[in-house]
Amino acid sequence: MHVCFLCHQEYPETFVTAINEYTRTLADLGVDVSVIAGRNTTEQPTFERIEGVDVYRIDADTTTAVSIGPTVFGYRGLRKIDELCKREEIDILHMRAFPNLGLILRTVPWFDSPPVTIADARGTAISNEFFDYISRVGIRAQSTLVDEMITVDENVATNVLGDDNDVNILPLGADFEKFSPGENESLREQWGVGSEEIVLGYTGLLYPTRDLDRLVRSFSRVVADHPQSTLVVVGDGDARSELERLVTELDIEESVIFTGEIPFEDVPEYLWAFDIGLAYIRDSVQYRDQPPLKTVEYLASGLPVVGTDTPGNKRFLTDDENGRLAPDDIEAYADALAELIESSAERERYSARARNSVSKFDYRNIVENELLPIYRAALQDQD
């Protein structure tokens, strides 16, 4: 089997983490894998082989989505696939769903293409409700043009495609070899955090739409009574400067650390320095149904987790089993944080259950037992 992935992002730097894992795991399992990705700089080669994956790069500005750029890239990507198909057999095109490739919703008849086209919908555009609506319309149209649709959760499928949908569910997960329990005392020392102090850690992009000021305000309610607690925010984004101003305004600078952006491969080591993982997800139309990658990574790393009570979080979290679920309310979330800070016994109990509770979300299991059967079934339908 030969699978070709098409995505308007850089590989592997900014490719969706899940699709990165699919490509590498498939290659490790003996599947021929090609990737057609964007190239923002001439320092990157137009072709290289990475961990068994053939990577072809096309010059493109992958930093913008609201332009003609994604459509131009998508068309040039199909032209590259045409070239590849003329010299080798490709069975499946696995493409990012709308709006990642702009108006390119399917293959075009004047180019050679694989017999099966699968569109992968991670969710809708999340910058605002207007773009969320446009994404929903585009993905629904695309679902009638491709052979199969994939999405990450039943709630996402219903939200995007409606109740009467015929979509394959391929859940998010974590690489259990990378994300595993561990300790990182040197990083805690670097932060000035002692062994008796409690580190509450958040990882992710700091977008304004995530409303992370609510997380900071929840922590500010906790730290006054629990001065042994420290909030560590791992990541960067447009909202960082505003969050830093809020921390100053709330007079909690000594208890909050912003690390800035770190390479994804370093994230597991940062989680080893946490005592509690914070899966704060805004309960909004853009985010509530999306299963959060951070949540399964925290749990795979053996961390007790405090998450907001969203359908996406409930994919991984069960209240009072492997963590706590709280409403998306500043006071309620603060109460859940305080309870876990105060109880080492609860933290230990949740931690002991964390990794096993999400074992089925190991990416190798997902690829072997869920993704490959989708591919095989789609190919059989073409026979």
Tell me the C-alpha distance between 233 and 321, whole Å. 25
pLDDT band at residue 126 using 50, 70 and 90 as cut-offs: low
**In this structure, are 96 and 198 located in the same domain?**
no
Encoded tokens for 65: 């989505």
**In this structure, are 13 and 126 located in the same domain?**
yes
What percent of the chain stands above pLDDT 70? 98
Contact assessment for residue 307 and residue 332, using Cβ atoms and an 8 Å cutoff: no
CA distances 286 to 126, 237, 289, Å, are 5, 18, 8
| pLDDT for position 159 | 80
**In this structure, are 330 and 309 located in the same domain?**
yes
Contact assessment for residue 295 and residue 171, using Cβ atoms and an 8 Å cutoff: no
Residue type for 240, please? R
**In this structure, are 142 and 201 located in the same domain?**
no
Helix, strand, coil: what percent of the chain each, to 5? Answer: 40, 20, 40
Q: Tell which residue, 285, 286, 279, has the closest CA to residue 326.
A: 279
| pLDDT for position 127 | 56
Q: Is the pLDDT of residue 200 over 90?
A: yes
Q: Which residues contact 325 (CB under 8 A, 6 or more apart)?
A: 307, 308, 309, 313, 314, 317, 318, 319, 336
Summarize pLDDT for 86-111 with one digit per residue, the tens.
999 999 999 999 999 999 999 999 99
Residue type for 210, please? R
| pLDDT for position 252 | 97
Collapsing DSSP to helix, strand or coil, 281 comes out as coil
**In this structure, are 84 and 135 located in the same domain?**
yes
pLDDT band at residue 286 using 50, 70 and 90 as cut-offs: confident
CA distances 100 to 65, 103, 104, 138, 307, Å, are 7, 9, 9, 11, 29
Annotate 189-226 with b (16+ C-beta within 10 A) or e (fewer).
Answer: eeeebeeebbbbbbbbebbeebbbbbbbbbbbbbbeeb
Determine, yes or no, domain membership for 83: yes
Determine, yes or no, domain membership for 333: yes
pLDDT band at residue 128 using 50, 70 and 90 as cut-offs: low
Stretch 235-258: mean pLDDT: 96
CA distances 121 to 7, 57, 95, 118, Å, are 12, 22, 9, 10
Q: Is the pLDDT of residue 185 over 80?
A: yes
**In this structure, are 218 and 297 located in the same domain?**
yes
Q: Is the pLDDT of residue 236 over 70?
A: yes
Q: What is the mean pLDDT of the chain?
A: 93
Determine, yes or no, domain membership for 373: yes
Residue type for 373, please? P
Contact assessment for residue 309 and residue 337, using Cβ atoms and an 8 Å cutoff: no
| pLDDT for position 103 | 93
Give the angle 24-27-33 at the CA atoms, nearest 5°.
95
Summarize pLDDT for 12-62 with one digit per residue, the tens.
887 788 899 999 999 999 999 999 999 988 888 999 999 999 999 999 988
Label the pairing between strands 47-50 and 53-59.
antiparallel
CATH code at position 79: 3.40.50.2000
**In this structure, are 222 and 86 located in the same domain?**
no
**In this structure, are 209 and 222 located in the same domain?**
yes
Q: Is the pLDDT of residue 382 over 90?
A: no
| pLDDT for position 160 | 81
Q: Is the pLDDT of residue 320 over 70?
A: yes
Alpha helices in 124-235 (DSSP H): 129-143, 154-161, 185-191, 213-223
Range of the domain at 283: 185-360
**In this structure, are 232 and 244 located in the same domain?**
yes
| pLDDT for position 84 | 96
**In this structure, are 99 and 226 located in the same domain?**
no
| pTM of structure | 0.88
Residue type for 326, please? A
| pLDDT for position 318 | 96
Alpha helices in 252-382 (DSSP H): 267-271, 293-300, 311-314, 330-342, 344-357, 363-366, 372-382
Q: Is the pLDDT of residue 310 over 60?
A: yes
Q: How many domains does the chain have?
A: 2
| pLDDT for position 130 | 74
Encoded tokens for 75: 């068309």
Determine, yes or no, domain membership for 370: yes
pLDDT band at residue 248 using 50, 70 and 90 as cut-offs: very high
pLDDT band at residue 125 using 50, 70 and 90 as cut-offs: low
CA distances 343 to 276, 328, 336, 366, Å, are 12, 22, 11, 34
DSSP 292: P
**In this structure, are 293 and 377 located in the same domain?**
no
**In this structure, are 265 and 131 located in the same domain?**
no
Contact assessment for residue 55 and residue 47, using Cβ atoms and an 8 Å cutoff: yes
Cα torsion 28, 30, 36, 40 to 10°: value is: 20
Residue that has been written with the tokens 């699978």 in this structure:
3
